[in-house]
Amino acid sequence: MSIKQFVENSLGRWRSQRSAHHLTFSHFEAVQSVIDIVALSPDDEAVISLCQSYKIDPTEAVMPFQMTWEGQSDWDENAEVKGSCILVPIPDPTVPNRGKLLRDQGYAETIAAVGDYHITEDETFVLLTTYDRAAAEEKIWFANPNLRFRVSLIKTSGGSGVVTASFASEIRSLSGK
Amino acid sequence: MSIKQFVENSLGRWRSQRSAHHLTFSHFEAVQSVIDIVALSPDDEAVISLCQSYKIDPTEAVMPFQMTWEGQSDWDENAEVKGSCILVPIPDPTVPNRGKLLRDQGYAETIAAVGDYHITEDETFVLLTTYDRAAAEEKIWFANPNLRFRVSLIKTSGGSGVVTASFASEIRSLSGK
């Protein structure tokens, strides 16, 4: 599966049921949210400026998109889980199904980040992102066109210890908004 | 990774933190359990009789093992999550890292079951089991030697609809019993 196809399959509105396992103290957190994934034009100003900030030619971008999420966690019911970021895949021209993913705002830290992605033989999208004080690993795959799963690990910066492991079941919302 | 190595890496006692997503009604279930995985001798009577019940030559078995689990679910705090089964890998001699897994008692139904396993390039163990009224898909992989993850899907018998998706974080218990 190409990155283009993977992003295309991901477009739309998803109802996400996510469990986070905080491993050091065996805590379960449950998060329910709505995620919108929308294609952006390669000419979008935000896409161009994100590419330029990494000194990457914007014409190398494939299927840039915006992800917006809004939900509720049972950890702190007053805290709204809410955010939005722009993601820009930059395929590696020399290796199939591998490349960089630029992001204007990361998950683990609210700063711009660049991750390395690859898509495995069995069509799992794998993303590794290294931050200053942490590393994140995500695996996303489809069970069918309307159901995708996402496993996210937050690791210590060395990458050996896993602090949080989370699992999301994401069901396509067919009823629209 | 070979099945022998995968089972060897899995031997020991694990503290499991598992979240089940019941997708049809967006319910979260949290289960905490202790899992013991113990190697069995290929000469073990239970191993031989399980092979024979599938008309398989017991000498084809590689690294048979017993899995025992005991825990507590927040779904029904009175119900103990408890069980044990014997698992016998039968590698396919013609294809590397692929074969059958015999089990004297399944997860989804309490009857003997035979599943098809393979180990992917990125060292994920994948098991597909078809029951009379359901199908199960499991993916298990190691983040490091003392931490493994397990995603289990329970599907309708046709295999298209996913009824339950669950995710377990399993940490090796280094303190012994």
- Here the ipTM equals 0.89
DSSP strand E in chain A: where?
Answer: 12-22, 27-39, 65-73, 80-91, 98-103, 113-119, 125-130, 134-144, 147-156, 162-172
Choosing among A18, A25, A28, which should be mutated to test the B contact, i.e. which has the most B CBs within 10 A? A28
Q: Mean per-residue pLDDT for A149-156?
A: 95
Mean per-residue pLDDT, B126-137: 91
Alpha helices in chain B (DSSP H): 3-10, 45-53
Average pLDDT over residues A23-45: 95
How far, CA to CA in Å, does A164 sit from each of A137, A167, B14, B47? 11, 10, 17, 38
Q: What is the pLDDT of residue B55?
A: 95
Q: Compare CB distances from B17 to A15, A28, A144 and report the shortest one's residue.
A: A28
Q: Nearest C-alpha of chain A: how many angstroms from B139?
A: 12
Average pLDDT score over chain A: 91
- What is the pLDDT, as a whole number, of residue A152? 97
Q: Do A32 and B19 touch (CB under 8 A)?
A: no
Average pLDDT, chain B: 91
Element (H, E) at A78: none
Which chain A residue lies closest to B123 (C-alpha atoms)? Answer: A120
Fold annotation for B3-172: Lipocalin (2.40.128)
The per-residue pLDDT for B140 is 98
Q: Closest Cα of chain A to B12: distance in Å?
A: 19
